Amino acid sequence: MATFDNYVLDTLMRDLVGHDHKPVSFLVYLWIAAEQERHGAEVCVSYRDMAESIGVSKSSAQTAVAWLVKRKLLAARKENATATPAYTARTPWRDAARKQPTREK
């Protein structure tokens, strides 16, 4: 079973579903993050396979991926124009926490 930061359910879900009105983007993020955790590497998957795994249309999966890439929550890479994309779920909230200097008392 995949484990997620509290941030994913407490903040990211509200942001993507409530504020952005993009519930499929949240599902895509969860699915890619879980697959990434399961396999320990980026996730190579076609839009068709992704959509079938999540239970949405292919065009919804494409739109969701584009939104997540725009929001910098997902990195997508292709070897060439016709290759199957490889996705990596990003965790910018962790990166921001690491960059903050610690305060000494």
* Average per-residue pLDDT for the chain: 88
Q: Which of 26, 18, 33 is nearest to 91 (CA)?
A: 33
How many domains, in total, are found in the chain?
A: 1
Tell me the whole-structure pTM to 2 decimals: 0.83
Q: Which of 39, 14, 16, 36 is nearest to 26 (CA)?
A: 16
Question: Residue 100: in which H helix or E strand, if any?
Answer: none
| CATH for 80 | 1.10.10.10
The domain containing residue 42 runs over which residues? 6-92
Q: For 20-25, what is the mean pLDDT? A: 93
Q: For 85-103, what is the mean pLDDT? A: 76
The whole-number pLDDT of residue 100 equals: 61
Distance CA 30, CA 33 (A): 5
Residue 26 lies in a domain: yes
Q: Is 9 left (phi over 0), alpha (psi -120 to 50) or beta?
A: alpha
**pLDDT tens-digit series, residues 67-91:** 999 999 999 999 998 999 999 999 8
Q: How far is CA 50 from the centre of its chain?
A: 12
Measured over the CA atoms of residue 15, residue 91, residue 1 and residue 65, the dihedral's sign is positive
For residue 35, pLDDT over 70 is answered with: yes
